[in-house]
Amino acid sequence: MDKYMLLFQGTAFSSKSPKEIEILADYLFAINADGIIEKVVAPQDEEYQALIEAYQGTDRFHRLDEGQYLLPGFIDLHVHAPQWAQSGTALDIPLYDWLNTYTFPLESKFADLDFAKLVYEDLVSTLLANGTTTVLYFATVHKEASLLLAEICARQGQRALVGKVVMDDAEQTPHYYRDASTATALQDTEDFIVAVQELAKNVKQGVYPVVTPRFIPSCTDEALEGLGKLAAKYDAHVQSHCSESDWAHRFVQDRCHKNDAFALHDFGLLRDKAVMAHCNFLDDADADLFAETGTAIAHCPISNAYFSNSVIPTARFQAKGIDIGLGTDISGGFSPSLFDNVRQAVISSRMLEDGVNPAISPEERGVPNSRLTVDEAFYLATAGGGESLSLPIGRIQPSYAWDVQIIDTTLPSAKLPIFNTDNNNAKNGENRDINTNREDLHGIFQKIMYLSRPENIREVWVQGEKVHSRDSKTL
**Residues found near ligand GUN in the complex (CB under 6 A):** 80, 95, 99, 103, 214-215, 241, 244, 303, 307, 329, 332
Cβ proximity to ligand GUN, 131 vs 332, nearer residue: 332
- Cα of first residue to Cα of last residue in the chain, in angstroms, is 36
**How would DSSP label each residue in 368-431?**
TT----HHHHHHHHTHHHHHHHTSS-SS-STTSB--EEEEES--GGG------HHHHH-BTTBT
Shortest distance, position 167 Cβ to Fe ion, whole Å: 13
> By the 8 A CB rule, do 138 and 165 touch?
yes
Q: Residue with the closest Cβ to Fe ion?
A: 329
Cβ proximity to ligand GUN, 28 vs 95, nearer residue: 95
Cβ proximity to Fe ion, 165 vs 391, nearer residue: 165
The region of 141-149, 204-212, 275-283, 311-319 touching Fe ion under the rule CB under 5 A is 275-283
Cβ proximity to ligand GUN, 23 vs 274, nearer residue: 274
470 binds, among ligand GUN, Fe ion, none (CB under 5 to 8 A by kind): none
In eight-state DSSP terms, residue 235 is: T
> By the 8 A CB rule, do 273 and 228 touch?
no
76 binds Fe ion (CB under 5 A): no
Shortest distance, position 308 Cβ to ligand GUN, whole Å: 8
Shortest distance, position 345 Cβ to Fe ion, whole Å: 16
The region of 103-111, 224-232, 271-279, 283-291 touching Fe ion under the rule CB under 5 A is 271-279
> By the 8 A CB rule, do 42 and 98 touch?
no
Shortest distance, position 294 Cβ to ligand GUN, whole Å: 23
What type of residue is 45?
A: D
329 binds Fe ion (CB under 5 A): yes
244 binds, among Fe ion, ligand GUN, none (CB under 5 to 8 A by kind): ligand GUN
Cβ proximity to ligand GUN, 134 vs 303, nearer residue: 303
Shortest distance, position 347 Cβ to ligand GUN, whole Å: 19
13 binds, among Fe ion, ligand GUN, none (CB under 5 to 8 A by kind): none
445 binds, among Fe ion, ligand GUN, none (CB under 5 to 8 A by kind): none
Give the Cβ contact number of residue 83 at 10 Å. 22
CA-CA distance, 191 to 168, in Å (whole number)? 17
Instruction: Return the beta strands (E) in 228-321 as ranges.
Output: 237-242, 274-278, 296-299
Report the length, in residues, of the chain.
Answer: 475
CA-CA distance, 471 to 469, in Å (whole number)? 6
> By the 8 A CB rule, do 76 and 68 touch?
no
CA-CA distance, 232 to 242, in Å (whole number)? 20
Cβ proximity to ligand GUN, 159 vs 214, nearer residue: 214
Q: Residue with the closest Cβ to ligand GUN?
A: 332
Closest CA to 169 of 229, 104, 231, 232: 104
Helix (H) or strand (E) holding 104: helix 104-108
Please state, in angstroms and as integers, the Cα–Cα distance from residue 51 to each residue in 32, 42, 56, 84, 380, following that order: 14, 11, 8, 44, 33
Cβ proximity to ligand GUN, 192 vs 307, nearer residue: 307
**Residue 469: beta bridge partners?**
459
Shortest distance, position 206 Cβ to Fe ion, whole Å: 23
The region of 189-197, 286-294, 329-337, 418-426 touching Fe ion under the rule CB under 5 A is 329-337
215 binds, among Fe ion, ligand GUN, none (CB under 5 to 8 A by kind): ligand GUN
Strands 237-242 and 274-278: parallel
Cβ proximity to Fe ion, 328 vs 370, nearer residue: 328
Shortest distance, position 105 Cβ to Fe ion, whole Å: 17
Q: Give how many residues touch Fe ion by CB under 5 A.
A: 2
Cβ proximity to ligand GUN, 260 vs 329, nearer residue: 329
129 binds, among Fe ion, ligand GUN, none (CB under 5 to 8 A by kind): none
CA-CA distance, 317 to 367, in Å (whole number)? 14
Cβ proximity to ligand GUN, 329 vs 408, nearer residue: 329
Enumerate binding residues for Fe ion (CB under 5 A): 277, 329
